[in-house]
Amino acid sequence: MFDERLIGHKVIREKLLTRLQAGKLSHSLLFAGLDGIGKRRVALELAMRELCFKRSACGACEGCKAFLSDPLPVELPNLLRIAPEGKAGIIKVGAIRDSDLVEGGVITWAAMAPPLKCHRWILIEDAHRLHGAAANMLLKTLEEPPPGTHLLLITHRPDAMLPTIRSRCERIAFAPLALEEAWTVAVAHGWEESEREAWTALSAGSLRYLERDAFDLACAQVDAWLRLAAGASFRDAAGPLIPDRTSELALSEQLRQPLELLLALLKDAARSRAGNSNSLLGAPSLGPWSAGIDQLASSPVNLKGPSDLVYQALRHLVRNPAPEPVLREIGMSLR
C-alpha cells in the first residue's frame, strides 16, 4: 500500500491512510519536524495514492510519475503546491488571493470539484513563511475548507507561525529519521562507508546533505565557526558563513544553516566543559570536530552569550536583510 522507496515515518503514514480511508482525516494538518526528514514526501504520498493506477502510491506507474518529477509542478490534477518565492523567501498574498499560481487564486481552486474519487490537496511548503496578509487570508479556508479539500502545511519552524494559523490545524509531529534509515538513503545516493561518520554527524537524522555541495558547505561552515572561536579574523574565516546573494535560495534560509550548526557546536562544547557527564545535554553530535570543540570548551568564553545571540537571530530570521552584521556579532562573542 506504500511506495517502498520512501523510507521512514511508517507509523504516521499508516495512521494517515487509515484515517483518510475512514473519512476521519482532518481537513487542515500541520506537519512539523526537522528540515529534510521527509515531511513533504509523506504529504505528497496522500495525493499521489489517489492518482496511482494501483491506488497504492507505488511510485512506478504513470499516475505516480508526475509526483516524482524534479522540479515538482505547481499544479497537478488533485494537488496545488504553494512555496516561498523571491530573495525574501516569503509566501505573498498574491499567491493566495490572485492568479499568481492558478487562475482565480488558491481559494477558488480549493472550491472546485475534485477529480473522480479524489480529494483536492493544497500543500503549503515552509508554512512559517506565510506573509501576514497571506496567512490571514487563509484563516477562513483553514477553519472551514470546501468539502473534499485538505490543506497540508509543512514546516520545521512551527514556533514562527501565527498562533491563529497553528490553532486551526491538527499538528502531526515528525521525529528525525533513525540514523540507519538516513544512511540507507545516503548510500543509495552514492555516499561511501568512509564518509559515514561525518555525514551522519551533520545530517542528524535528516537528508539535508544528500548533495555533496551542500555537505561540503556545511563542513566548511563548522570549520569557519571553530576558526573564529580560535581567534581568526572575521574577514579571513567567515567566507563560508556569508549567504550567496546570487543563489535562488532566500538569504534568510541560507543564514539559518550556519546558525543551527553553531548551536550544535556550542552544545557539544558545553558537554565537553561539563566533562561529558551531563546527560541532559545528550551525546556529542559533531564528533568528527571534537578537537576544535574541546578547544572551544577549554576557552574562557561564556557559551551562553553566543547561544542567546543565535536564538535571537533565528527568531528574527525572516526580517533580517543584512546577515553579515549578525554573523560578525556572533563571531566576536566566541572570543
Tens of pLDDT, residues 211-221: 999 999 999 99
For 154, phi then psi, to 5°, come to -110, 130
Highest mean pLDDT among 63-72, 205-214, 284-293: 205-214
Taking the alpha carbons of 189, 193, 197, 198 in that order, is the dihedral positive or negative?
negative
What's the pLDDT score for residue 151?
93
CB 182 within 8 A of CB 207: yes
pLDDT at 321 over 80: no
Spatial CA neighbour of 158 closest among 150, 146, 166: 166
Mean pLDDT, residues 152-174: 93
Mean pLDDT, residues 37-48: 93
What's the pLDDT score for residue 33?
95
What's the pLDDT score for residue 213?
95
Q: How many CA atoms lie within 13 A of 105 on its CB side?
A: 13
What's the pLDDT score for residue 217?
97
Buried b (16+ CB within 10 A) or exposed e, 225-252: bbbbbeeeebeebbebbbbeeeeeebbb
81-92 tens-digit pLDDT: 988 876 667 787
Alpha-carbon distance of 14 to 246, in angstroms, equals 42
Mean pLDDT, residues 96-102: 69
Buried b (16+ CB within 10 A) or exposed e, 166-198: bebbeebebebbeeebbbebbeeeebeeeeeeb
Q: How high is the mean pLDDT of the chain?
A: 88
Alpha-carbon distance of 223 to 291, in angstroms, equals 11
What are the start-end ranges of the H helices in the chain? 10-21, 39-51, 62-65, 93-97, 106-111, 132-143, 163-166, 179-188, 196-203, 212-229, 234-237, 251-273, 290-298, 304-315, 323-333
CB 230 within 8 A of CB 214: no
pLDDT at 282 over 60: no
